[in-house]
């Protein structure tokens, strides 16, 4: 064998060995992050990245580059999301498939007979945490500590949360402890199942002295969700909570679930400008995990996925010749905030549109012959006290606004599209290919020693 041929074979073997061993070493990861962008499919991620490219590079497609951290992850997979009774899942069935490896009908959590992921990690000595920017007992986070219940049984879900071995559970509120949910029953903190409530409002989170005390981390004044980024760009509640929880967990091996619930809610509203900012905001938290990975590359695994896609978002519309993502920055707040701010408003339709979307969008409405129709509708809507009536009106405007920028929506609900799975770090090669969401549970379990 010639020396050249021998060197070529050795080089190929080295490349093959490195490829097989990359992200799949002999040791199990000690630190595992599972990021779930609720409602986040490939389109939501692509829209956010194109928006960043357009804003940062003057809408020059030739300069398109990877702007989100997840799109630079070396491993990518695709995951199907159907439930047991529908090709289009809801968040409870999707969350419980990933958390328990069992399919259920929409609206329900599984029996958990295989054991929940969080429970398996606890038994193996891992510390566990769940963080979301929506209520802590909403469907997706609840799937990681709840069995059998319907997703709307908030009181019972909150009671299960109190008993759960998960060390830290954090979110914007606890729906199960409201008077409406309790219906005269004792408050969830009144039982023997002790979980310490810790304030998320303080500049620095004050954790209990007991190192592994079970904690519920929520604001003193509970809120339906952490503010949308578009409504409060300076808000860093999610990042602050993430970093503080990470600091508390990092003394030992951990399994940390982080949900971006605001993405889903904005998609339900068909509010593209709010969606892209929420994906970008979620990616900022992911970047913090990547920084952690860089300190412990041989011991860390980061997974990023969605539980399902919401809205059927398309990067293209019948009302625009091309994509113009930078136009989305002309919208100044979410459709939900528009509905709140216009309670009792006497402003004209023209002033409302210009205030929230800019003068160019008002001219666009006139050019398309929609001004009179929308103006008359606004006269009726602004007299309504019901915020959801006004929200429906502003959802129509954000839909038109998205279409002008080249984006369109197929539905106000979920879709059956597969969702991406991005992976970085130890064991990441296990997450390539196309598989169902119950396989994610199995793939993660195989990583536990």
At 315-325, the pLDDT tens digits run 999 989 899 99
At 20-72, the pLDDT tens digits run 444 444 468 999 999 999 999 999 999 999 999 999 988 788 888 899 999 99
**Rama region for 311: left / alpha / beta (φ>0; ψ in -120 to 50; rest):** left
**Rama region for 65: left / alpha / beta (φ>0; ψ in -120 to 50; rest):** beta
Task: Compute the distance between CA of residue 282 and CA of residue 263 in angstroms, rounded to an integer.
Answer: 9
Task: Compute the distance between CA of residue 259 and CA of residue 423 in angstroms, rounded to an integer.
Answer: 16
Task: Compute the distance between CA of residue 280 and CA of residue 205 in angstroms, rounded to an integer.
Answer: 25
Average pLDDT of the segment spanning 404-430: 97
CA-wise closest residue to 305 among 114, 440, 433, 190:
440
Residue 159 pLDDT grade (very low, low, confident, very high; cuts 50, 70, 90):
very high
Average model confidence (pLDDT) for the chain?
92
Examine the pLDDT at 8 and tell me if it is beyond 70. Answer: no
Looking at residue 251, its pLDDT comes to 82
Average pLDDT of the segment spanning 370-386: 92
Residues 6+ apart with CB under 8 A from 254: 30, 31, 32, 121, 126, 127, 128, 129
Residues above pLDDT 70, as percent of the chain: 94
Looking at residue 376, its pLDDT comes to 94
Looking at residue 16, its pLDDT comes to 40
Residues above pLDDT 90, as percent of the chain: 84
Looking at residue 2, its pLDDT comes to 54
Looking at residue 27, its pLDDT comes to 66
Q: Which CATH architecture has domain 31-313+411-445?
A: 3-Layer(aba) Sandwich (3.40)
Examine the pLDDT at 12 and tell me if it is beyond 60. Answer: no
Task: Compute the distance between CA of residue 257 and CA of residue 307 in angstroms, rounded to an integer.
Answer: 12
Looking at residue 194, its pLDDT comes to 81
At 201-258, the pLDDT tens digits run 878 899 999 988 999 999 999 999 999 999 999 999 999 999 999 999 988 899 999 9
Looking at residue 6, its pLDDT comes to 53
Task: Compute the distance between CA of residue 248 and CA of residue 50 in angstroms, rounded to an integer.
Answer: 36
Is 114:101 a contact under the CB 8 Å cutoff? Answer: yes
**Sign of the dihedral defined by the CA atoms of residues 290, 424, 130, 268, in that order:** positive
CA 201, chain centre distance (Å): 22
Q: Rg (Cα) of the chain, in Å, rounded?
A: 23
Q: What's the CA dihedral at 384, 387, 391, 393 to 10 degrees?
A: 0
41-70 burial: b if 16+ Cβ within 10 Å, else e: bbbbbbbbbbbbbbeeeebeeeeeeebbbb
Return the domain boundaries, the chain: 31-313+411-445, 326-405
Examine the pLDDT at 288 and tell me if it is beyond 90. Answer: yes
């Amino acid at each position: 064998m010639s020396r050249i041929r021998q060197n070529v074979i050795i080089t190929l073997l080295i490349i093959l060995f490195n490829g097989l061993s990359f992200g799949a070493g002999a040791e199990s990861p000690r630190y595992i992050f599972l990021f779930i962008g609720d409602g986040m499919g490939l389109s939501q991620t692509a829209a956010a990245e194109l928006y960043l490219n357009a804003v940062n590079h003057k809408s020059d497609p030739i300069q398109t580059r990877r702007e989100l951290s997840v799109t630079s992850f070396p491993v990518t997979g695709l995951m199907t999301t159907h439930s047991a009774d529908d090709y289009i899942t809801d968040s409870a069935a999707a969350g419980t498939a990933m958390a328990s490896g069992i399919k259920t009908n929409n609206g329900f959590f599984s029996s958990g007979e295989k054991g929940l992921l969080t429970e398996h990690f606890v038994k193996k000595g891992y510390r566990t945490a769940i963080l979301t920017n929506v209520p802590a007992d909403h469907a997706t986070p609840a799937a990681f500590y709840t069995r059998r219940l319907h997703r709307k049984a908030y009181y019972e879900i909150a009671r299960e949360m109190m008993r759960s071995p998960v060390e830290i559970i954090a979110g914007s509120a606890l729906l199960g402890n409201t008077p409406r949910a309790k219906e005269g029953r004792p408050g969830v903190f009144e039982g023997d199942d002790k979980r310490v409530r810790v304030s998320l409002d303080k500049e620095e989170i004050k954790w209990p002295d007991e190192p592994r005390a079970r904690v519920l981390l929520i604001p003193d004044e509970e809120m339906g969700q952490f503010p949308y980024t578009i409504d409060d760009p300076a808000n860093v509640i999610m990042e602050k909570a993430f970093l503080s929880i990470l600091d508390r967990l990092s003394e030992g091996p951990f399994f940390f679930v982080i949900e971006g619930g605001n993405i889903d809610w904005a998609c339900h509203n068909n509010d593209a400008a709010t969606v892209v900012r929420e994906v970008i905001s979620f990616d900022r938290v992911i970047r913090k995990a990547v920084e952690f990975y860089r300190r412990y590359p041989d011991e860390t695994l980061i997974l990023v996925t969605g539980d399902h896609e919401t809205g059927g978002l398309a990067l293209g519309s019948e009302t625009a010749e091309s994509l113009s993502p930078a136009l989305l920055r002309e919208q100044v707040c979410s459709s939900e905030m528009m509905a709140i701010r216009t309670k009792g408003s006497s402003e004209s339709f023209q002033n409302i549109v210009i205030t929230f979307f800019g003068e160019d969008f008002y001219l666009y409405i006139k050019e398309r012959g929609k001004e009179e129709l929308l103006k008359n509708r606004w006269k009726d809507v602004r007299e309504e006290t019901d915020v959801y009536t006004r929200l429906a009106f502003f959802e129509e405007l954000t839909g038109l606004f998205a279409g002008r920028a080249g984006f369109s929506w197929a539905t106000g609900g979920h879709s059956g599209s597969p969702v991406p799975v991005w992976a970085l770090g130890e064991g990441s090669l296990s997450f390539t290919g196309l598989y169902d969401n119950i396989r994610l549970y199995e793939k993660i379990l195989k990583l536990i020693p």
